[in-house]
Structure 1
Amino acid sequence: MRTLLQIRLGTEASNGPIADGTMGQKFERIMAALKPEAAYFYASGGRRAMTIVVDLPDEAALPSVCEPFWVEFNAEVDAYPCMDGDALREGLSRLGG
């Protein structure tokens, strides 16, 4: 299940890893586990933020995807099932008519 995650890191929780130089290591570990098909990093509402797209085997995988961001960075995580153009065409074809 392709899922788009919008993640906003807690400022105080992410300041420590930035200051001590471990932010890169933490992100590399999380991203290696998630294997996102796309990842974009930016500022949102004055906070460090990112949008990543991951392919989850099922809904039960969602906690294990979100938990590292919650634990490491006190992040807000929004998850949206999403699709590419091929999946949209398939879905529309199922509407009939």
Structure 2
Amino acid sequence: MRMMLRMVIDATDGSDAIQSGAMQRAIGALVEKLKPEAVYFSTEDGMRAGYIVFDMTSANQQVEIGEPLFDLGCEVHLTPCMTPDELQAGFAAAGR
């Protein structure tokens, strides 16, 4: 299932993790493991944020994705998401 991972990185913990290189290693490993279709970085409510769209093949991936990010002080949010074509197919299946 296509998922969007949204991570919001605590300013203080994030700065420490960037200085030590832990953030770069964690994000690099995550991107390598997930082989995402899209990865973006921005700010959210004054904090560092990242967005990764990927295919989740098993619910237990939530643990292997979340734990390294929790260790860095990140908030982690996983949300199913759709392409426009999938949305249209959903409307059709719902009789809309």
Task: Tell me the TM-score normalized by structure 2.
Answer: 0.83
Task: Supply the AA of the counterpart residue of 1:16.
Answer: D
The corresponding residue for 1:42 is 42
Residues 37-76 of structure 1: pairs in structure 2 closer than 5 A: 37-71=37-71, 73-76=72-75
Aligned pairs, how many?
96
Q: List per-residue Cα deviations over 1:41-65 (Å, max 9, x = no partner).
A: 0121221111111110133322222
Aligned residues: CA RMSD: 1.8
Q: Distance in 1 between matches of 2:12 and 2:88?
A: 43
The corresponding residue for 1:18 is 18
The corresponding residue for 1:31 is 31
Q: Distance in 2 between matches of 1:64 and 1:23?
A: 16
Identity of paired residues, percent? 31
Q: List per-residue Cα deviations over 1:14-61 (Å, max 9, x = no partner).
A: 212322344333321221112221111012122111111111013332
The corresponding residue for 2:89 is 90
Gaps of 5+ in 1: none
The corresponding residue for 2:6 is 6
Q: Distance in 2 between matches of 1:23 and 1:65?
A: 13
Tell me if the contact between 2:7 and 2:76 (Cα under 8 Å) persists in the aligned partners.
yes
